[in-house]
Amino acid sequence: MAFKFARHEYGLRCNKHEAELYSRNRNKQHRRLMLCPVFWCSPSGKLLIMRCAATPVTQAQANERKANASSEWDYEDPGDDGHPFEWKVSDLGVPRGKVVAVDYATTA
């Protein structure tokens, strides 16, 4: 498990955003598979608990993931979430054999 503790107002907003984004896409399994699963977030956003992405990614893995992501995320509505994550190796990980975003609050 990964525990994300917010250290300031922006961190609170990011934690809540990640939890809401993961929850909001509960009926879109193809999107959820691109995100590190959120298990729980405190109402204030002070603590977010996610699956731990134990294996870091290489730049080549990040580039490959980026190349396939646009079609996988499938924008649907004008108000829809754009890509909620960046393609930095520090924001990606491999928890179950597939590269996923572990930090996806860029739109928060």
- Specify the pairing of strand 38-41 against strand 2-5: unpaired
pLDDT attached to residue 72: 75
- What are the extents of the domains in the chain? 2-101
pLDDT attached to residue 41: 98
Length of the chain equals 108
pLDDT attached to residue 56: 85
pLDDT attached to residue 6: 97
pLDDT attached to residue 81: 66
Q: How would you write the pLDDT of the chain (108 residues) with one tens digit per residue?
A: 889 999 999 999 999 999 999 999 999 888 888 899 999 999 999 999 998 756 889 999 888 888 877 677 776 665 666 667 787 888 888 887 888 888 888 666
SS3 (DSSP) at 22? helix
Partners of residue 50 on adjacent β-strands: 2, 38
pLDDT attached to residue 90: 87
- Enter the DSSP assignment of 35: B
